[in-house]
């Protein structure tokens, strides 16, 4: 049997309607090749695939076949291992011997090996680490804090003295081409190995050989220390449009770089983490986790929501007498609660986005709050007018006591609730960020629950002041 065209043609299908069926044919053929131990043939195919496509193949393969493919430790499969989620990576290594794990990790870059090592059981990791060729580099990376620049940086980089010429740089790169996997640019350092600039690839291609590095280099670079949080690194790279971030030690000497691949991964990881927090999920939640982990990770947040809903119920119960006098008021409670939740989530999401991109800080809280208040007043007025028109329409269709007072009360309550909700939504994320707490915590369960309680209080206070007069 020949390899189907979508394998031989380097295609793992994405997006179209026939992708699932075509990819299943690929999985079946790859499984057959693994079972037949046709390692060379499969290696020739997978070496032309991107690591991302190999990851999708790993996920789609039966675990037994995926483990066998993993054991072969080909170049592309080793690259793909780093991109796998921790649970699948651990499953692939579950029955592997210490010697086999060592062989796999020895083919990885130190920072990638550390990532895989951290997913192993502690007792296994302690046996593996001393046997790794890059043990010293891995231990040095591990010494840096988790999610720091030091933990994701690569110690492989190209750096040249500032007094060289372009010709000397290109000659040096050619002489060491076998050691360079990907060249994104060249760092320029002084006599003390402190970065003073960088050269782009276009500089090496277009400038004459006799051109001076000192005159040709670009000096608009930003460097970070190994202890800088990776989220801050990604934020700086985005703000200054950098594709490589140099890392310097306490003396300002160049010790590493963070590559575009790692920067993209950090941005993706941080975005996924914020999305999970905003949804009231643990940051390590995975789509394929066990029922036990689902319950353990989500139940606490549901209980938080339950407590908030119970408090709202207590407040509503405290106004039982007013509701008994005018039962129609009860129909407005879900309206104001829903409006408050939506307005608060909108304001808090924008604030979290601004904090994530670095365009919003605690110092900006004043003008930010002012803009949100003006926007809240306008949106609140629009919502209030819509609600008033609805009440007037309903009052024409049925017998409603004191329709004018009801219209005024409903409109004022709606506008006040929107203003209060956007104020809370815009303020809380900034304050949490100031306190060193992830501002994404301000969205989702907390904002929704808090604004529900606030909306009920505002509604009944407004009813007491303007309806029962």
pLDDT tens per residue across span 140-192: 777 777 778 888 888 888 899 999 999 999 998 988 887 777 788 899 999 89
Q: What are the structure tokens assigned to 40, written together?
A: 């060379």
Residues forming a β-bridge with 409:
none
CA 286-264-426 angle, to 5 degrees, is 75
Cβ proximity of 83 and 52 under 8 Å: yes
CA distance readout (Å), 419 to 327, 371, 388, 408, 424: 26, 11, 17, 17, 9
Residue 199: the pLDDT is 93
Tell me the C-alpha distance between 16 and 6, whole Å.
14
Tell me the C-alpha distance between 315 and 317, whole Å.
5
The residue among 99, 125, 98, 100 whose CA lies nearest residue 114 is: 125
- Judged by average pLDDT, the poorest of 4-18, 224-238, 347-361 is 4-18
What mean pLDDT is reported for the chain?
77
pTM for this prediction: 0.56
Residue 114: the pLDDT is 79
* Neighbouring C-beta atoms of residue 88, cutoff 10 Å: 18
Cβ proximity of 103 and 113 under 8 Å: no
Confidence of residue 6 (pLDDT cuts 50, 70, 90): very low
Token look-up 């990376």 returns 141
Looking at per-residue confidence, does 205 or 29 come out higher?
205
Cβ proximity of 148 and 227 under 8 Å: yes
Confidence of residue 7 (pLDDT cuts 50, 70, 90): very low
Alpha helices per DSSP H over 398-443? 403-434
Tell me the C-alpha distance between 83 and 327, whole Å.
58
For strand 159-161 and strand 254-258, is the pairing parallel, antiparallel, or unpaired? unpaired
Tell me the C-alpha distance between 57 and 27, whole Å.
7
Outline where DSSP puts E strands in 264-344. none
At 418 the three-state DSSP class reads helix
Residue 1: the pLDDT is 41
Per residue in 66-103, pLDDT tens? 777 777 656 556 666 656 666 666 666 665 667 777 87
pLDDT at 287 over 80: no
Q: What is the mean pLDDT of residues 209-236?
A: 89
What DSSP assignment string belongs to 324-378?
A: HH-GGGGGGHHHHHHHHHHHHHHHHHHHHHHHHHTS--GGGHHHHHHHHHHHHHH
Phi-psi region of 213 (alpha: psi -120 to 50; beta: other; left: phi over 0): alpha
């Amino acid at each position: 049997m020949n390899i189907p065209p979508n394998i031989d043609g380097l295609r793992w299908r994405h997006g179209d309607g026939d992708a699932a069926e075509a990819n299943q044919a690929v999985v079946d053929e790859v499984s057959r090749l693994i079972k037949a131990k046709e390692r060379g043939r499969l290696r020739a195919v997978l070496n032309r695939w991107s690591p991302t496509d190999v990851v999708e193949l790993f996920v789609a393969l039966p675990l037994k076949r995926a483990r066998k493919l993993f054991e072969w430790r080909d170049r592309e499969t080793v690259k793909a291992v780093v991109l796998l989620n921790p649970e699948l990576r651990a499953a692939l290594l579950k029955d592997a011997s210490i010697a086999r794990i060592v062989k796999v990790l020895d083919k990885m870059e130190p920072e990638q090996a550390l990532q895989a090592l951290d997913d192993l059981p502690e007792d296994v990791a302690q046996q593996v680490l001393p046997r790794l060729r890059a043990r010293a580099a891995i231990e040095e990376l591990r010494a840096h804090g988790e999610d720091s620049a030091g933990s994701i940086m690569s110690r492989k980089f190209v750096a040249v003295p500032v007094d060289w010429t372009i010709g000397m740089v290109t000659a040096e790169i050619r002489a060491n081409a076998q050691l360079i996997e990907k060249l994104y640019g060249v760092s320029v350092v002084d006599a003390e190995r402190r970065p003073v600039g960088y050269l782009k690839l276009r500089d090496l291609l277009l400038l004459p050989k006799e051109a001076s590095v000192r005159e040709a280099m670009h000096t608009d670079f930003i460097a970070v220390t190994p202890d800088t949080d990776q989220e801050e690194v990604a934020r700086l790279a985005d703000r200054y449009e950098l594709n490589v971030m140099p890392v310097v030690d306490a003396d300002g000497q160049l010790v590493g770089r963070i590559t575009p691949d790692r920067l993209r991964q950090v941005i993706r990881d941080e975005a996924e983490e914020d999305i999970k927090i905003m949804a009231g999920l643990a940051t390590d939640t995975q789509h394929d986790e066990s029922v036990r982990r689902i319950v353990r990770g989500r139940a606490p947040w549901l209980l938080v929501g339950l407590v908030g809903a119970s408090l709202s119920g207590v407040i509503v119960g405290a106004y039982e007498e007013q509701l008994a006098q005018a039962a129609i008021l009860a129909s407005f409670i879900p309206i104001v609660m829903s409006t408050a939740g939506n307005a608060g989530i909108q304001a808090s999401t924008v604030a979290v986005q601004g904090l994530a991109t670095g365009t919003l800080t605690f110092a900006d809280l004043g003008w930010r709050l002012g803009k949100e208040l003006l926007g809240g007043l306008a949106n609140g007025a629009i919502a209030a007018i819509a609600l008033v028109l609805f009440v007037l329409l309903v009052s024409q269709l049925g017998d409603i006591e004191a329709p004018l007072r009801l219209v005024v009360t409903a409109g004022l309550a709606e506008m006040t609730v929107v203003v209060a909700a956007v104020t809370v939504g815009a303020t809380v994320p900034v304050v949490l960020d100031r306190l060193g707490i992830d501002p994404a915590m301000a969205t989702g369960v907390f904002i929704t629950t808090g604004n529900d309680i606030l909306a009920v209080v505002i509604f009944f206070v407004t009813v007491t002041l303007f309806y029962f007069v």
